Amino acid sequence: MAGKGKKQKKAKPKGYKGIWKTYEVKGDKLERKNKTCPKCGEGYKMAEHKDRLYCGKCGYTEFKKTKKE
Ligand SMILES: [Zn+2]
């Protein structure tokens, strides 16, 4: 088989991160919405996906809990 059948990948637009979305203003203080990576430490936010959090630096993935504790 020839490796010519290249699958088309739908790439998500990059470069637009919307950093203001990682913070939420509550009253007069900022509340951090995104979780910090437990491996990389403070300052390394994890990207939020539908069902998981992902650290772009180390690749750490944390699945969101569906159940309420
Ligand atoms: Zn990390």
The whole-number average pLDDT for the span 38-42 is 90
Which is higher by pLDDT, 8 or 56?
56
Beta bridge partners of 20: none
Distance from C-alpha of 42 to C-alpha of 31, rounded to nearest angstrom: 15
pTM (2 d.p.): 0.48
Centre of ligand 1 from the C-alpha of residue 34, in Å: 13
Q: What is the pLDDT of residue 69?
A: 60
The whole-number average pLDDT for the span 5-16 is 67
Q: What is the dihedral sign for C-alpha 40, 46, 47, 51?
A: positive
Centre of ligand 1 from the C-alpha of residue 66, in Å: 22
pLDDT band at residue 60 under the 50/70/90 scheme: very high
Q: Is the pLDDT of residue 39 over 80?
A: yes
Centre of ligand 1 from the C-alpha of residue 42, in Å: 10
Give residues whose Cβ lies within 5 Å of ion ligand 1: 37, 39-40, 55, 57-58, 60
